[in-house]
Amino acid sequence: MSATMTIKEFALPDLGEGLTEGEILKWLVGVGDVIELNQPIVEVETAKAAVEIPAKWAGKVVTIHHPEGTVVEVGSPIIAIDTDPSGSSSPAPAPSADSAEPEAGLIGGPAPGGRTAVLVGYGPKTTEAKRRPRSTSAPAAAPVAAPAPAPVVAPAPVAKAPAPAPVAAAPAPANGVHVLAKPPVRKLARDLGVDLATIAGTGPQGSITRDDIEAARSAPAPAPVRATAAGPREQRIPVKGVRKLTAANMVASAFTAPHVTEFLTVDMTRAMKALDRLKTNREWRDVRVSPLLVVAKGVLMALKRHPMVNSSWDEAAQEIVVKNYVNLGIAAATERGLIVPNIADAQDLSLRELADAMSGLVATAKSGKTPPAAMTGGTFTITNVGVFGVDTGTPILPPGEAAILALGTIREQPWAYKGKIKLRQVTTLGLSFDHRIIDGELGSKFLRDLGEFLTDPEAALLAWG
């Protein structure tokens, strides 16, 4: 038997509960590479995070079905692996993408309790790949075709219709537009000087035909588009991944929860001096200490005094769910958009443990490796707009949370202190809350107590216990 009988198709696993697709950011292996079990083979971005997917078989890469930039549905094959490239072992019947059953305990395979093992969450579904939408700023062009898969010799009990002729994948042009066309059509376009990226294909799957080339050649030249000195007058950016999920969540939150925002300006001079003393402590010399740390501690103390602020609205049950734990979310700006990972059970952490957790959270977010599980289940969020030099803001609630705090920049300002005008370290806090849960009195008391803590955190810790 041929060694190709050992080729196995690896489908995109479920990368998180509720996620149905992912974009292939980067292939970490190429056709012909020999890979090991659990070796990272591809980086995929979902609506929550970018993750590396490990190989569930060792072997040789035979086919990569989708190029970088393709949006693929969960359950769709993305790579074919020959698990016995040397042909030394007895080959088994060739599995198909629909009938192959992965080994127990591996991604996509059976797991205890009858569930399917996946990276995070459950239930991969089998659907076809989904290409990114066509751009409307230029004539529509079809996406890149997947490279033709390597032939797999297997008995076919039922005759199938002949497959269409393969369509070659074009290298990505400078403008980022991809097209589908057969090799003879591409040659004709080159000979006639026709840019395939400017043609709307009329063939199967939107591919470009010879007639499309001839029609484009005979069509009148379009009116020139005036460009700025730096380039085109417009740029279109596909909304996908983290940015797409953030946009959907913000719209849902803004038009579901009635927002109220209150502001409080606070003298943090004593808090800043306390942080400076903390930095000189020998046990804290290697710890990242910032004003956000003392604000986070103040939030946890204030939530303990006003637990209703740490709650959510259950629309289906028509109940307010008060949380006896705090999953403290810290908004982080990354290259892929805004994410809000949270520190689980932050109420149980000491100040040093809180500092370490915040440092780890920021480092992971900047590296783009925040797991989806770390971005769900938050109960209260802090967004530090002060790092951008902004005084404060009116933040929108993350879905499922009753309140969010914006921390503004801390700067020297004239301030009335002990009957005199002095320069003090001052900031402005902005608290947005869900008015279905938190009325003006509760929101004001929470903000007042937080301001009292930040004015003199050492005294507040002694007084509040």
What pLDDT digit, counting tens, does each position of 9-20 carry? 999 988 765 677
Beta partners for residue 77, in sequence order: 11
Residue 213 has pLDDT above 90, yes or no: no
Beta partners for residue 71, in sequence order: 23, 130
Residue 241 has pLDDT above 80, yes or no: no
Average pLDDT value for residue range 364-372:
83
Residue type, 131: R
Contact of 371 with 406, CB cutoff 8 Å: no
- Confidence tier at 127 by pLDDT (50, 70, 90): very low
Domains and CATH numbers, the chain: 3-114 (2.40.50.100), 134-218 (4.10.320.10), 242-464 (3.30.559.10)
Which range among 97-111, 294-308, 345-359, 373-387 shows the weakest confidence by mean pLDDT? 97-111
Residue type, 71: V
Token output for 393: 């803001």
Average pLDDT value for residue range 231-240:
79
Q: Residue 227 has what pLDDT?
A: 52
Q: Which residues are catalytic?
A: 435
Q: Residue 99 has what pLDDT?
A: 42
Q: Are strands 332-334 and 337-339 parallel, antiparallel or unpaired?
A: antiparallel
CA 160/CA 110 separation, integer angstroms: 30
pTM: predicted TM-score of the whole model, two decimal places: 0.57
Cα–Cα distances in angstroms (integers) from residue 304 to residues 188, 271, 347, 403, in the given order: 72, 20, 8, 14
CA 450/CA 20 separation, integer angstroms: 41
Residue type, 406: A
Q: Residue 230 has what pLDDT?
A: 63
- Confidence tier at 40 by pLDDT (50, 70, 90): very high
The predicted-structure confidence for 269-306, as pLDDT tens digits, reads as follows 999 999 999 999 988 988 889 999 999 999 999 999 99
The H or E element that residue 148 is part of is none
Average pLDDT value for residue range 424-438:
96
Contact of 63 with 149, CB cutoff 8 Å: yes
Percent of the chain with pLDDT over 90: 42
Query: Can you point out the beta strands (E) in 283-434?
Result: 311-314, 319-322, 328-330, 332-334, 337-339, 342-343, 380-384, 403-407, 411-417, 420-434
Between residues 169 and 88, the one the model is more confident about: 88
Beta partners for residue 231, in sequence order: 228
Per-chain mean pLDDT for the chain:
79
* Cα three-residue angle 36-41-42, rounded to 5 degrees: 170
Q: For residue 74, with 0-12 CB atoms within 10 Å meaning exposed, 13-18 middle and 19 or more buried, which class applies?
A: buried
CA 296/CA 355 separation, integer angstroms: 9
Between residues 253 and 456, the one the model is more confident about: 456
Q: Residue 69 has what pLDDT?
A: 85
| First and final C-alpha spacing in the chain | 75
Residue 357 has pLDDT above 60, yes or no: yes
Secondary structure class of 283 (helix, strand, coil): helix
Q: What is the DSSP letter of 61?
A: E
Residue type, 301: M
The predicted-structure confidence for 144-203, as pLDDT tens digits, reads as follows 444 444 444 444 444 444 444 444 444 444 444 557 777 678 778 877 888 888 888 888
Between residues 1 and 16, the one the model is more confident about: 16
Average pLDDT value for residue range 420-430:
96
Q: Residue 140 has what pLDDT?
A: 40
Phi, psi dihedral angles at 41 (to 5 degrees)? -115, -25
Q: Residue 228 has what pLDDT?
A: 54
Average pLDDT value for residue range 344-372:
90
Phi-psi category of 427—alpha, beta or left, where left has phi over 0 and alpha has psi -120 to 50? beta
Q: Residue 249 has what pLDDT?
A: 76
Which range among 30-34, 140-144, 307-311, 324-328 shows the weakest confidence by mean pLDDT? 140-144
- Confidence tier at 247 by pLDDT (50, 70, 90): confident
